[in-house]
Amino acid sequence: MSDHHAQAKSSGCGGLCGGKCGSTIQDGVIKNNPIIHQVLGVCSALAVTSKLENALVMGAALVFVTAMSNAFVSLLRHLMPRRIRMIVEVAIIATFVIIFDQFLKAFYWDMSKQLGPYVGLIITNCIVMGRAEAFATQNPPLLSIVDGAANGIGYMIILALIAVFRELLGAGTLLGYTALSTAWYEPNVLLMLAPGAFFTAGFLIWIINALRGRKDV
Amino acid sequence: MKNAVQTLIFAAVLGMASSTLLVTASLFTAPYQKANQKAEEIRNYLAALDAPVPENASAADLIAIFDRTIRQVERNGLECFEYRPDGADAPQAVAVAFAGPGVWGPIEGVMALEPDMETIRGIRFFKQEETPGLGSEISADFFLNRFKAKQIISSDGTPGFRVRKPGEAKGSNEVDGITAATMTSDRVGKMLDTLAKRIRED
């Protein structure tokens, strides 16, 4: 019964991804969310979530980089000499991160100024390397792209949640527009600081795990 | 041995492929990036000088205004940008660039003075990598507006400038720093103090 169900659900792109498309997306975005469950990529999640706009762009960057690097690592997985595979993975990841950074600097100058060094630091984001090593080296390219994008989206959703909370209560704005007027609302500066992000992320992980009744940690 | 050769070839090919990609990306985006940087600097100079700029002015418009109204001169070994709006004979304001270390990277900016060379007309920071949401707020209007009509000499005439702890600025050459960005505030203060002394040095 459950097998039929799973097959029916993933039949949309099942032909191309060997029927694993749906479950891969679910894994990346929800079940095995990189921040909530794997607790990876937390550094940037704390650093760029003081504004919702920054969080969304950072999320988009991660979707692009993880999907592209997964694709290429997967394409090269049979050719790649095992001894240097980590270096190869980092080289591929770095290439796409720099391309994204250059693109931001050319066409989204203001955003690039705000994110500063954090775009470049995606190279060291454990989610990207983790997906390349754990998934792309063992799966076909299309499915690897799906996995990379799903993990990127999972990352983006959590960043956006943290950023909404922090920007709203820490600055009284959302996407730069005033949401809570300073006439009656005193912004909580602690939320704009790194510890504020830490508390927010911690509470978010707690709440989500409690809601799901997850016990096997 | 065969494995080692294979590894070397693989690494070389991969390195060449990714550097080709990077060079292409960089060549393609370089003109846009340069234009952005140039326009950004000019926008900041004009803003500090309080020069009227049409809304949504393009990079080319900004460069045209800059070339028409601003003349670069040297005064006492100091690079100055004199602002003469259309029709004015004497400079209406003078801008001086400054730079110094920030918390995460260099800070560069420009300060505009009234013709008396004592009163601040405006200030902008056009390059900085301070902490987003905290130190980077030095580029926000609320902080920049604190400098308007301040002086780069104290009431007894000594050149200098201070960024004080929030709420403690009293003198004519002091402004409040930014809450939760003490390190950035201190560094900006030091930079402007040096600048004030250099400008007032005869």
Q: Which of A87, A106, A114 sits opposite B29 (nearest CB)?
A: A106
A89 falls within a domain = yes
Whole-number pLDDT of residue A9: 42
Interface test with A, best of B1, B33, B139 (most A CBs within 10 A): B33
Mean pLDDT, rounded, for B153-175? 90
Contact residues, chain B, for A103 at CB < 8 Å: 25, 29
A143 falls within a domain = yes
Q: What is the ipTM of this complex?
A: 0.76
Of B1 and B196, which is predicted with more confidence? B196
Task: Say if the Cβ atoms of A192 and B133 lie within 8 Å.
Answer: yes
By a Cβ cutoff of 8 Å, what residues of chain B touch chain A?
A: 3, 6-7, 10-11, 14-15, 18, 21-22, 25-26, 28-29, 32-33, 36, 40, 104-105, 129, 132-134, 136, 179-180
A76 falls within a domain = yes
A1 falls within a domain = no
What residues have CB less than 8 Å from A132, skipping those under 6 apart?
A: A69, A70, A73, A89, A92, A93
A158 falls within a domain = yes
Query: pLDDT by residue (tens digit) across A74-102?
Result: 999 999 998 899 999 999 999 999 999 99
Query: pLDDT by residue (tens digit) across B47-103?
Result: 999 988 887 777 778 888 998 999 998 887 888 999 998 878 888 999 999 999 999
Task: Give me the domain span that covers residue A69.
Answer: 34-162
Task: Say if the Cβ atoms of A116 and B132 lie within 8 Å.
Answer: yes
A217 falls within a domain = no
Residue of A nearest to B27 (CA): A102
Contact residues, chain B, for A50 at CB < 8 Å: 132-134
Query: pLDDT by residue (tens digit) across A172-202?
Result: 888 878 888 878 888 888 888 888 999 999 9
Number of domains comprising chain A = 1
Q: Which of B22, B179, B180 sits opposite A95 (nearest CB)?
A: B22
Contact residues, chain A, for B44 at CB < 8 Å: none
A29 falls within a domain = no
Whole-number pLDDT of residue A56: 95
Query: pLDDT by residue (tens digit) across B100-119?
Result: 999 999 999 999 999 999 99
Contact predicate A156/A62, CB 8 Å: yes
Its pTM stands at 0.72
A74 falls within a domain = yes
Query: pLDDT by residue (tens digit) across A138-153?
Result: 999 999 999 999 999 9
